[in-house]
Amino acid sequence: MLEKGQDDDWFSSKTIVWCSIAAVVGFIVFLTHELRTAQPAVNLRILRFRSVATGVFFQGVIGFVLFGVNYVLPNFAQVMLGYTAFQAGVLQVPSAIVTGIMFPIIGAFTGKLDARILVSTGLLLLAASNWMLVPMTLAWGWDNFLVAGLLRGLGVVMVFLPLTIAAVGDCPTEDIQTASSLLSLVRTLGGSVGIACLATLLTRRTDFHRAVLVEKITPYGTEAMGRLAELTQMFQHEGWSHADAVVRALSVMSNQVAQQAALMSYSDIAWLLAVFTAGSLPFCLLLTSGKKNCLLDCKCLLPDLPITLIKVEKFCLGPCKRSIDCAHLVPH
Asked which of 199, 228, 248 is the last residue of a domain, the reply is 199
Whether 28 and 172 share a structural domain: yes
What is the structure's pLDDT at 264? Answer: 92
Q: Let me know if residue 114 belongs to a domain.
A: yes
Q: Let me know if residue 132 belongs to a domain.
A: yes
SS3 115: helix
What is the structure's pLDDT at 3? Answer: 57
Report d(CA 330, CA 115) in Å as an integer. Answer: 26
Q: Let me know if residue 216 belongs to a domain.
A: no
Whether 159 and 307 share a structural domain: no
What is the structure's pLDDT at 61? Answer: 85
Whether 189 and 42 share a structural domain: yes
Whether 169 and 318 share a structural domain: no
Q: Let me know if residue 308 belongs to a domain.
A: yes
Q: Let me know if residue 81 belongs to a domain.
A: yes
* Residue 83 belongs to domain spanning: 10-199
Whether 305 and 191 share a structural domain: no
What is the structure's pLDDT at 314? Answer: 41
Whether 60 and 188 share a structural domain: yes
Q: Let me know if residue 239 belongs to a domain.
A: no
Tell me how many domains the chain contains. Answer: 2
Under a CB-based contact definition with an 8 Å cutoff, are residues 41 and 234 in contact?
no
SS3 2: coil
DSSP state of 309: E
Whether 30 and 175 share a structural domain: yes
- For residue 315, CA distances in Å to 52, 120, 162, 299 come to 15, 19, 11, 20
Whether 32 and 179 share a structural domain: yes
Give the domain CATH number at 103. 1.20.1250
Report d(CA 285, CA 116) in Å as an integer. Answer: 7
Q: What is the pLDDT along the chain (332 residues), one digit of tens a residue?
A: 555 655 666 666 777 777 778 878 887 887 776 677 777 766 777 777 777 888 888 888 888 888 888 888 888 988 888 888 888 888 888 888 988 888 888 888 777 778 888 888 989 999 999 999 999 888 888 888 899 989 998 988 888 888 887 777 667 777 777 777 888 888 888 888 888 888 888 888 998 998 888 887 777 777 777 877 888 888 888 777 778 888 888 888 888 888 889 999 999 999 999 998 888 888 888 777 766 534 333 333 334 434 333 333 344 444 433 433 333 333 33
Asked which of 175, 199, 223 is the last residue of a domain, the reply is 199
Q: Let me know if residue 284 belongs to a domain.
A: no
Q: Let me know if residue 138 belongs to a domain.
A: yes
Under a CB-based contact definition with an 8 Å cutoff, are residues 172 and 45 in contact?
no
